[in-house]
Structure 1
Amino acid sequence: MSLRALRTLHAIARHGSFARAGEVVGLTQSAVSLQVKALENEFGAPLFDRSKRLPELTPAGRIVLEKSAEVLALYDEIPAALGDERSLAGRLRLGAIQTSLSGVLPDALAALNRSHPRVRVHVSAGMSAELALQVAAGELDAAVVTEPVQPHPRGLVWTPLYQDRFWLVAPDGRRDRTPCGLLREHPFIRFDSKAWAGRVIDRELRRMRLEVREEMVLDSQEVILRMVEKGLGIAVIPMADDVRARLRLTCLPFGEPQLIRQVVLLERQDRRGGRLATTLAEAVTAAARASAADGSLTGKPDGGRSTTSGSH
C-alpha cells in the first residue's frame, strides 16, 4: 500500500475530481487513475463510482478514506517522535496572514530554526477565511490567522498568540480631527470584507451608523498604507504598535472603545497539541512580546476591546 496513493485518495475526495487532485499532489490525471486502481486492487473493491460526471466515493471508498486518515496522521507524527525533547524534527505546513508575514512571524521562524534546525516549516500566505478552509481540509497543519468570526469551518480550535489594535489612518497633519469627521469627509479605502478583519470593520461602521464614500477595496495592509500615504483616502486597519510607531501618518483609535483583534494559531481539533505547532506558537508569542516592547518605547498603548469570541 502506497502512502502517496492514500494522500491522492484524500485529495480526490476534497477537490472532487481526478484532474484537480492531480494538480494538488503534483501528478498527471492518468497517474492519479493508476494510483486509485492500485488501491482498488489492493483492497479488492471499487473506491469510486465512475458512472457519475464527477467521481463519487463508494461505501468501500468512504471506509478506506476514514481509516487511512488515521494512518496518515500517525505517519506524519513519526519525524517529531524521533526528535528528542530538546531538538524537534519534522515538517509543519503553515498558513499565515500577510500582516504576520510582514510582522512577527519571520522573527519567530528564525528563532525556531536556531533552536530546532531539523524542523522544516513550509509557509503559504492567504486571508484568514481561506486559510481556515485549508486547515479544516487537512491541506495545512496550522495557520496564523485572526480569531475566527462566524461563519467559520467546524472542528477548528485556536491558541491566542498576540493582539493588534484597529486604527483609522489618514495623511499626516490631521490629528485635530475626529474619526467620524474624517470618515464622513474623505474617500474611504476599505479593508476587503472577505478578510475577517474587514468584516469586523464593516460591523463597527454599521454600529456607528456611518456612511463612507468608498473609493477602493484592498486586502493588503501594506498596499492600503501606501495609498493613504499618497493622499488617496483614509482607511481603517489593524496594526501592531511597532508598525504604527514607524508610520508618518495620523493614527486615531477606531471603535468605541477601540477595537482589538486576536491573532491565533488555528488547528484542527483532532490534531491539536502537536509539538511542532506548540513550539511554533511559543516562538510567535515571544517574538510578539519583543515587538511590543520595541513599540512601547514611543508611548503607552491605549485600552481596547476584543472583537471576536470563541473557544480557545
Structure 2
Amino acid sequence: METSYIDSFVAIAECGSMAEASRRLNLTPTALAQRIHVLERDFSTRLIVRSGRTVRLTESGARLLARARQFQQEVRELHAATLGEGMVGGLRLGAISTAATGLLPPMLSALVERHPGVDAYIEVGVSRDLYHQVLHDKLDAAVMVAPPFAIPKSLTWRTLREEPLIVLAPRSLAGRDPLQLLAEMPLIRYDRRNWGGSPADQFLQQHGIQPKQRFELDALDGIVALVGCGLGVSLVPDWSRAAPLPPGVVGIAVGGESPKRRIGMLWPTQSPYGRAFEDLLAATGNGGDRRSA
C-alpha cells in the first residue's frame, strides 16, 4: 500500500519546515515539494503556504492533517492485523536524550532481531513533549521520565529503571559531605522546569538548601562537562550512561529516601503494537512495573 505522499504531508506539518521534513524522510526538497504538488492537484486545493524557511497549513491543509493522522493509524493497524502483531515500516519512537544513548540502543537491537522489517523514526526530545506526542498519536511509544501526574487509562506505562540522586563533583571533592557541597559550592542545576529535574529540586527544598546557582540546563552530558571544568557541583539522577563518568568527575550518593527519577516506556493502550512492545521489554529484561491508569 503506497501511503508515502500522505506521510510526507504529515511530516511537513509536524516539522513546520520543508528542509527538516526532507532530512527526516531522507528525500530531497524537490522530491518532497513534488509530492505536495501532487496532493494539491488531487485534492484541488492549496495545502501549505511557504513563509521564508517555514511553512504553515492552509485551512484545507489543517482539515486534511486531522484525517491524515487517523489514516496513518488505520494503516498501521492493518499492517499489525495482517502480520500477526509484527512491526513494519513507519514505527515512530520517542526518547529523552539520556535514553537515546543509554537504554534505547539495546532495545533497538532486540527490536531489529525480532522484527527485521522494522523502519523506525526516532524523535529525541524532553519528556513533557514526548508525552503529548504519544497522547495525540504523533508517536507510537516513548522512553521518557514518568509524568508527575496520574497516567490516563488510554495510555500504558512500564517502568524500566529508577534513578536515585547523586551529587556530581570534581574528583578533588570526593571525600566531602554531599549536602555540604550542595550548600557551599556553586550549583549547576538540572533544569527544574522539566520532569527529570524536579526530583533534585524537591530534594533541595526538603533539606532546606538554598544553593548558589551558577548555571541551569537540561543536558546531563553538558552538566558533566561543566563540573569537570571545576565550575561547580550538580544534583542529578544516576542515569543510564553509554560511558563512565570522566576521570575528573565523581558521583556521590546522597543516600536516604531521596526522590528518584523513574524512566519508562509509554504507549497507547489500544496500540496495535502493544503486545509487541510487551514482548520486546520482556526480551530485554525490562519486565518492571506496568500501569495503564
| TM-score, with length taken from structure 1 | 0.68
Cα deviation, residue 20, structure 1: 8.2
Q: How far apart are the structure 2 equivalents of 1:55 and 1:38?
A: 16
Contact 1:90–1:118 (CA under 8 A) maintained in structure 2: yes
Following superposition of structure 1 onto structure 2, how do residues 101-112 of structure 1 map, counting pairs within 5 Å?
Answer: 101-112=100-111
Partner of 2:208: 209
Q: Is residue 148 of structure 2 the alignment partner of residue 146 of structure 1?
A: no
- Counterpart amino acid of 1:6? I
* Alignment coverage as a number of residue pairs: 280
1:1-312 equivalences under 5 Å are 3-8=3-8, 10-11=10-11, 31=34, 34-41=37-44, 55-57=57-59, 62=63, 65-83=65-83, 88-91=86-89, 92-149=91-148, 156-172=155-171, 174=173, 177-240=176-239, 249-253=250-254, 257-268=257-268, 271=271, 273-284=273-284, 286=285, 312=293
**Alpha carbons 2:5, 2:36 under 8 Å: kept:** no
Distance 2:16 2:75 in 1: 25
Distance 1:250 1:174, change over 3 A: farther
**Paired AA for residue 206 in structure 1:** Q
Cα offsets for 1:118-167 (capped at 9, x unmatched):
33333342222333344345443211101123699996543222222121
CA contact (8 A) 2:166 2:253 kept: yes
Gaps (5+ residues) in structure 1?
Answer: 290-309
CA-to-aligned-CA distance 1:240-261 (integer Å, 9 cap, x gap):
588898776241226x622212
Identity %: 27
2:102 alignment partner, SS class: coil
SS in 1 for 2:253: strand
**TM-superposed deviation, 1:81:** 4.0
Query: What residue number does 2:52 align with?
Result: none
CA RMSD of aligned residues (A): 4.3
Amino acid in the other structure paired with 2:198: R
- What is the CA–CA distance in structure 1 between the aligned matches of 2:240 and 2:24, rounded to whole Å? 38
Distance 1:66 1:246, change over 3 A: closer
Contact 2:144 2:265 in 1 (8 A): yes
Query: 2:153 and 2:231 mapped to 1: Cα distance?
Result: 40
Paired AA for residue 88 in structure 2: G
Q: 2:188 touches 2:213 (CA, 8 Å); kept in 1?
A: yes
For the residue of structure 1 that corresponds to 2:119, the secondary structure is strand
For 2:177, the aligned partner's letter is: T
Long gaps (5+) in structure 2:
50-54
User: In structure 2, what is the Cα distance between the partners aligned to 1:75 and 1:163?
Assistant: 36
